[in-house]
Amino acid sequence: MVEIKTEGILLMKTELGFENEGVLNPAVIKEGDFVHIFYRAVRIGNYSSIGYCKLLGPTTIVERHDVPLIIPQYEYESQGVEDPRIVKIGDLYYLSYTAYDGMNALGAYAISTDLKKFEKQGIIVAKIQYEEFKHLAEVKGDVNEKYFTGHLFEIIIKRLNENIYMWDKNVVFFPRKINNKFYFLHRIRPGIQLVSVNSFQELTKEFWENYFLHFKENIVLDPKHNHEASYMGGGCPPIETEHGWLLIYHGVCDTPKGFVYSACAALLDLENPLKEIARLPNALFSPVYDWELHGVVNNVVFPTGTALFDDTLYVYYGAADQQIGCVSLSLSALVSELLLNVKKNAD
């Protein structure tokens, strides 16, 4: 078992108008001794922007803005910019987030050279309706049935509004190119999928039609264990280790008291991240404390960012959709634990 040390609550909501309902699900990037936090800030009425604070070391707050850094500007994100993640590839920072217009929730991204000004690049995932997705993904068969039964919300809403797209969230970039290609994770319930492109201009309607025709081949992880049985989604940007890409993601299971969100871990192949090397059979950590068990959404730990100090990995997460928590653990111990659970070829 990997020892998990609770660092407690890092950030709480304030009385400021843009974050008076909750702060959660932060994008995190370490630069020298500082850690930059770009967090989802929610005002009453579930309207999200992205706030900013800076840490010295893993947990000491030295700066926190009293206005949001990124706000909704376009129609496709008119009701919120949510759940950011961030990586640096070359000289550019890539911040992915969920754009919410009150009806559709789709992955989008922005770029920056200085972590101060971000230039939005728009939606990065497919704008596809459920029926079209189902038609394409069923062609080759042998796809988890949950992909075709887990979208009742979209089907019901579509009866009222023809402009509803299948929700595609949790876009997470890999922190470097692999074989000269950009790679990013995304999530169509219940699993986690992978996209690779030479350029984001390749993401055309034709690209996505072909992608969904071969949908099963693009699934990285599907639910396997009890703690992730309902669905799962990308969490923190993958961490490169000598044994593979460490992926800390969220897994969800339904219980008599409602859904429980846990942090989970897997190891993916360095050159072919579609290949799962190992996965923990149990959650890395789950809601335990009152501030994780009770909040805007109960029973939630939702990991979205990490910072590495020597061998100590700090994992930052949204807790009950109301505050931001942090745990720490040994990176080498986690990788060793994963290597004890290497996926057998017969799986």
Please identify which residue in the block is written with the tokens 């500082």: 34
Q: Give the Cα separation of 157 and 140 in Å (integer).
A: 28
Among residues 93, 41, 44, 94, the alpha carbon closest in space to that of 72 is found at 41
Contact 248, 194 (CB under 8 A): no
Q: Is 13 helix (H, G, I), strand (E, B) or coil?
A: coil
Please state whether the predicted TM-score (pTM) of the whole model is above 0.75. yes
Please identify which residue in the block is written with the tokens 């909704």: 72
Q: Per-residue confidence of the chain (347 residues) as pLDDT tens digits?
A: 899 999 999 999 999 999 999 999 999 999 999 999 999 999 999 999 999 999 999 999 999 999 999 999 999 999 999 999 999 999 999 999 999 999 999 999 999 999 999 999 999 999 999 889 999 999 877 888 888 876 555 555 555 566 789 999 999 999 999 999 999 999 999 999 999 999 999 999 999 999 999 999 999 999 999 999 999 999 999 999 999 999 999 999 999 989 999 999 999 999 999 999 999 999 999 999 999 999 999 999 999 999 999 999 999 999 999 999 999 999 999 999 999 999 875 34
Tokens at 73, concatenated: 């500007």
C-alpha distances (whole Å) from 177 to each of 183, 235, 262, 317 are 7, 19, 29, 26
- Say if strands 5-11 and 323-330 run parallel, antiparallel, or are unpaired: antiparallel
Q: How far apart are the first and last CA of the chain?
A: 23
CA atoms within 13 A on the CB side of 126: 22
Q: Give the Cα separation of 309 and 163 in Å (integer).
A: 46
Q: Give the pLDDT of residue 216.
A: 95
281-303: b or e for each residue (b if 16 or more CB lie within 10 Å)?
ebbbbbbeeebbbebbbbbbbbb
Contact 308, 286 (CB under 8 A): no
Per residue, what are the HEC states of 294-314? CCCCCCEEEEEEEEEECCEEE
Domains in the chain (CATH in brackets) are: 5-339 (2.115.10.20)
Q: Give the pLDDT of residue 347.
A: 46
